[in-house]
Structure formats: C-alpha cells, structure tokens
Amino acid sequence: MPETFKAILVSRDAEKKQSVAITDLTEADLMEGDVTVAVEATTVNYKDGLAISGKAPVIRRWPLVPGIDFAGTVISSSHADWRTGDKVILNGWGVGETHFGAYAERARVKGDWLVPLPQGMSPHDAMAVGTAGYTAMLCVIALERHGIVPERGPVVVTGAAGGVGSVAVSILSSLGYHVVASTGRSAESSYLTDLGASEVISRDELAQPAKPLAKERWAGGVDAVGSHTLANVLSMTSYGGAVAACGLAGGMDLPTSVAPFILRGVCLLGIDSVMAPKTVRMEAWRRIGTDLDLQKLANLSTTIGFDGIIDAAHDIVEGKVRGRVVVDM
C-alpha cells in the first residue's frame, strides 16, 4: 500500500457549495512538479482564511489542497538547484489557489518556485514570517527605494495588529522609523507598542470617506486594508511621500482623487508577493534574516497543530487573530 499523509481538501459540488475536510492522500495524488517537499511548518494567512471559508474566490481549481506558504525539507528532486535534504521555503506562485498547497504533509511543486531557508532560521521561524511577513518586507524595501528613510518623518501601518501589519511595525521600528500603528482593536495597543510602534491610532480615524487632501501626517505608509483607509492614508501623506499598498482587508475599491498625486507628488507603490521574481524574493528573505528581530517574531506569533487550521482560517477572516499563526506539522 502507498504511504498516506494527512491533507485538507476543499471541494465543491454541482451546486457550487463548498466543503472542507481532513483526508488522507498519497504522493500519487499530488500535482505535477519537479521537487517533492516534506512540509514541516506552514501558516494561516488572510488569503488562506478566505479560501477555506469560501468568503472570496481564492480557489480556482477543484478539489484543492489550500495553503499558500510552507517550509520544509526536499525529499526528492529532478530540479538542478535542489537536492534531497535541502531546506526550502515557498510563498505564492498560485500554490493554494490553482496548485495543491501547504495544508498537507507533502507538497510537489516546481523547483523555480522555491527559495532556500535563510541560515539560522528554522522552518517554524520562516512560517512565523510567512507570506505576510515577506510581503511586509517587500513594502519596506519599496519605501526605501523611494527615499522614505526614518529622517523623512513618521510612517503609518494600517491593519497593524494583523499579520502584514505586525511584521511591518516590527521591521520599521527596528530600522529606526517612527511608526504610527492603525488598528481597530484598541486592546492590542500594548502589543503594538511592544513591537515598536511609537503611536497607536484607531482605524476609525481613517475609515470615513477621505478628503481630497488632509493635513500632512506621515512621510509614508504600509497599507493592507485598501478602500477608504488607503484613500485617507494617501490624503494625509506629506509632499513627495509614498505608500506601499499590499492588501484589501477593507475592500478592493479606492475612493480617492488625483489630488495627492498631482498636488503633493505622492506615489502609490503596488506590492505583489505572489508572482514576484526570484531575485526579489531572495532579497526580501535576506533582509528578513538581518532586519527582523527573532524575539519580536516569537512575540507576534502563536502556534497551532494541523488540526487547528480550519478553525484558525475562520477566525482570521472574522478579525479574531492577532499577528501570525504558525502551524507545526
């Protein structure tokens, strides 16, 4: 009998009603790829929550094993870059959307999608970072390249108690920025100040329809919310500033005007983590290895087992999750 392993499988019936179940698979059930990995750790991102809950059309192939991140050990490879025993990370590339993902004890993927686990970082640590933290680092790098350095003034982070926001607050504060953390959860203020936030503001300050231009409050920002929140952040960004946009927790719309762009020279920097080239990924993970305090990383993450994934997925879309959730397989 072939060896079996646990997996979460999301299916849909003829009426397009979605169902989620823990099941057993074999390697013969996996999709095509030139590297097979023993998954040692994964995580629950907002996108994973949307996939499992069915609250957004994340999954585009049925049935599917969800999970957009994993870290583990190569157990077989026909790819020139990888050998049995190599420690690797995967983020994005449609895994968990169109290709069987991380919520299984085995994954078969294209070797071109993998990056090496940074030296000194465990699979658990890498998934405490996960796509959320890797995306946060892409945002920080984009701001730096636009000249938004600590001396330019404060930076705002929206959705600050979430995965992207928590890591962004931690990295930016470690780099010397004055971080303004925006959150809808006032109870998380001490958590955010412990991560390094200099100020914590209520998301209500940014939730109403934005003025074309408002008082200048920050030199830049990291936004994971979108909609009115992003519109307000842009209207409050100082002359020549920039905002890195990477999420849509508050909506996909952007009800703003051209005023911040043509009257203050503000730039909106779009951040994509899913299809980012390997060179960009390698730079982000290198920076994570040097600029993210592992003790802060431990403080912003909680750990669950495989059987807790489905509940955590529902919790994250309901706003009940703080920071990062690591799944030890």
What confidence score (pLDDT) does residue 299 get? 85
Domain ranges across the chain: 4-117+297-328, 131-270
What confidence score (pLDDT) does residue 295 get? 85
What is the homologous superfamily of the domain 4-117+297-328 according to CATH?
Answer: Medium-chain alcohol dehydrogenases, catalytic domain (3.90.180.10)
Locate all alpha helices (DSSP H) within the chain, ordered by sequence: 46-53, 123-145, 163-174, 189-195, 227-235, 259-263, 278-291, 294-299, 309-317
What confidence score (pLDDT) does residue 1 get? 64
Residues in the chain where the model's pLDDT stays below 50: none
Locate all alpha helices (DSSP H) within 146-226, ordered by sequence: 163-174, 189-195
Determine contact, residues 268/243, Cβ cutoff 8 Å.
Answer: yes
pTM of the model: 0.92
pLDDT (tens digit per residue) in 264-291: 999 999 999 999 999 999 999 999 988 9
What is the homologous superfamily of the domain 131-270 according to CATH?
Answer: NAD(P)-binding Rossmann-like Domain (3.40.50.720)
What is the CB-side half-sphere exposure of residue 191 using CA atoms within 13 A? Answer: 22
